[in-house]
Structure formats: C-alpha cells, structure tokens
Amino acid sequence: MKSNLCSLLLCIPLLLACQSNQNLHVNQASSPTDLYLDYQYLSLKPIHIETEQEIFQLDDGMRAMVQDKLGNNLTTQQKARVLLNHLFNEESIALSYDGNANVTARQAYHNKLANCMSLTILAYALADEAGMNISFQDVDVPEYWVRNGQYSLLTGHVNLLVEESDEVNKRVVWGARKIRIDFDPFVAKKSFPSHTIEKHTLLAMFYNNKGAEEMLNKNYPLAYQYLKKATITDSDFSSAWGNLGVLYKLSGHYDMAESAYSHAISLQGDNLTSLGNLALLFTIQGRPEEAQKIDAFIHKARVKNPYYHALLGNEAFFKQSYHQAIKHYKKAIQLDDEQHEFYFGLAKAYYKQDKLALSKYAMKKAVALTKTKDTQKQYIAKLNFLKYHETTNH
C-alpha cells in the first residue's frame, strides 16, 4: 500500500507481553506551559521556522498558471480535474512522490517532488487562488509503519476534498460532486473514514513532520523548535506532544519525556504510539510492571492490524532473524493480501535464506499489486535480478 503515506510520528519498536487487557492508568500530565525546555535546545545559528504565509505562498508563475488554466468559466469539478492533470501529467508538472519532501507549496511546485502533506499544501494553495471550495481531510488509515534506519516511522494520511460551491449551477451534474486530491489511490479505493480538519491543524502536522525529520537528522535544537511550533499552532494535536516526548527521551530528559507522553495520551487516549514510547521509557527506568500493562494493552489493540505484523517482520529482518520475519509477513498477508509491501518484505526474507523460487514468487506478487510507477520499476528490477540469479545458479 502506502509508499505515499505521510505525517510522520516517531515510533520506537515495542517489546510485547501477550496478556489480557487491563485498565490503564497514566499519570496526569503537567500544564502544557510546563512542558517546554527552551534552555536545553539553544542553537548557535539562527533558526528560521516557516510561517503560514511562506508555507502556502504562490509566486507570480504559479498565479499566472491559475489564471490561465483555472478560469472562472469552469465549474468547480472542471477546475479540480484540470488541476489534477496539471499536477500529475507528464506534459505539465508531473509531480513525483518523495516521502521526505516536507516542503512548501512553491518548493513542491518547482522541485516537482512532494509527499502527501506537501501535495495537500500545494493543491490547497492553487485551489484557493482559483476560488474553489476546498477542505483538508485527515484520513483514518490503519496504523502503518516504515523503517528508516534504526527507527520505525508511524505514518498517517491527509488529502484535500474539493466540493461544488453552493452558488454553482444547482442542476444535477453527472458523476461525483466531490473530488479528492491525493497521491494514494489506495485510500480512495478502501474508502477509509475521514474527517475535516482546520488549517491550523494541518500546519501543526507540517511542523510535526519537520520536527520528526530533524530528530532523525539528530539536529535536536531545530527539531525542538519545530515540535514546539506544532504544539503552539494546535495545542490539542496529540502526536506533536508525543514526538516532543521522544525528543526529550533521546536527549536524556526522562522526567520531561514522561510528562510529554502523558499529556499526549490525555489528549488522545488511543495514541498507541505515545503509549508504546511510555512503556519503553518505563522499561529503561526499571519499571517493568507498568511497562508490561501498557504493552499488553497495545498488543491487544494492534493484533488484528496487518501493518503491525509487517512492522514486526521489518524489525525481525533488521535483526537478521529471517525465519521470524517470514512468519510475521505471512501473518500480515493472511490479514490483508492486497499490500505489495508485505510481499516485498517476504521476498527479501526468502532471498536472505537463499530460497530464490519463493523470493521470485513473492516479488511477482509485489509487482502485480503496486500501483505506483516508480515503485513498480524498482520491483521489476529486483525481480529481473532474482531471475538472473536463479538462472546462473542452475
């Protein structure tokens, strides 16, 4: 599925305790104003955090494109389809997906690279200039993780919804009256529930993404400023408080990390990422009973999520436990056999065991299931390598 998912939330792998669910008690968090550590994250260089205006700003060339292609004589639906064609067709911008492209509207437009957050920002800025009726959507996709070096990234998903304005033609128009602008056709195909979010929440997500990115780069002062900005922009955005806790934990401020996690959980009781990170913190601090209660709760909540089993497969693969990785990938496929990444993981694990025929079969399944051209090209190259390797071994 979603090589295209975004909204990064740093997630530390969990040790699981398979016990019955227990009622969890998490200590009440401090006041949010007590959760900042400005003096610990000073920078010798000036730090610039993008403003809302800078994030959504168009330049003269982009405004000219809107005037040229999205004129007032078009209906909202027609404008939306022209905009989609302009963004994705090879004759126009031909945007490519890059999960690390947490960029502004202008950067996405001119660099022709975006992740789903940046695409949403770009499409919103252009659609708003064209006077279209648009809203931000937070899509309730299942928890989904991507390994990035020694970390696992938990991703979410946002897109843009375009609707016919009330003033436009009241007559029935053929086709849907709502159009989603999204990098990931899987999301629309699965019809995951979604809800409208306000602009300040999307901005908080953008800053949260940037903060997580800088955390991975170990640029902690800049990460802190982005995450603080996220929590100020939307004080109810649980994920940003959870990531602030991760930053504190990585910096050795364990008490503050616990307070930040607790506040994140008080805002969103099912924030399993913050719960998991709190359990890991308890383990480090020698508080195993508290950690085990949380782990058991999380395991029960996640056990039917195929992406959770894929995460366990990724962790086992990273630790070179290929037999265990195969078991986890197979469980993920048993729960959902339409995700190319599960088969790709299975193919890699089989290859490490020199089971080339099984690896090739899994790779073929991955190629057949992926809908992204760039990913499909990569998979085909790997499949051709396997075929060549299998032939030379006979």
Task: Write the pLDDT tens digit of every residue in 306-320.
Answer: 988 998 898 899 889
Q: What is the pTM of this model?
A: 0.77
Residue 301 to residue 308: CA distance in whole angstroms? 10
Residue 282 to residue 65: CA distance in whole angstroms? 54
Closest CA to 281 of 239, 313, 252, 319: 252
Task: Write the pLDDT tens digit of every residue in 224-238.
Answer: 999 999 999 999 999
- pLDDT averaged over every residue in the chain: 82
pLDDT of res. 144: 62
Instruction: With H, G, I as helix, E, B as strand and everything else as coil, classify residue 75.
Output: coil
Residue 113 to residue 96: CA distance in whole angstroms? 5
pLDDT of res. 387: 77
Q: Which domains does the chain have, with CATH numbers?
A: 32-234 (no CATH), 306-392 (1.25.40.10)
